[in-house]
Amino acid sequence: SFCAGGVPSLSYQELKELKKTNVLHIDVRERSEIERFGKIPESVNIPLGELVEALQMDPVKFKEQYNQKMPSKSDPVVFSCLSGTRSKKALGFATSLGFN
């Protein structure tokens, strides 16, 4: 299940279309889940427990840790997890930090 601002959930096809644009896809599953179920292409894994800290990091440190440019508060970001519960929490965290 995928969550994007203003869109409660996206289908995989909608996500694929979005990924053709400049959208950052953050997978908030645990690393053990990624190892078990596989990584989604072109996504960055930031487990939910690290997300609030990650979104407040220095951009240089963010790039070092996640090998990805840190999103600005106006960049489009999509969160995903296994069932949709964590991605909704992630969306709430990001919104509360000022991401739109």
Active site residues: 81
Amino acid at 57: M
Collapse the DSSP code of 31 into the 3-class scheme (helix H, G, I; strand E, B; otherwise coil) and give the result.
Answer: helix
Burial class (CB in 10 A: 0-12, 13-18, 19+), 76: middle
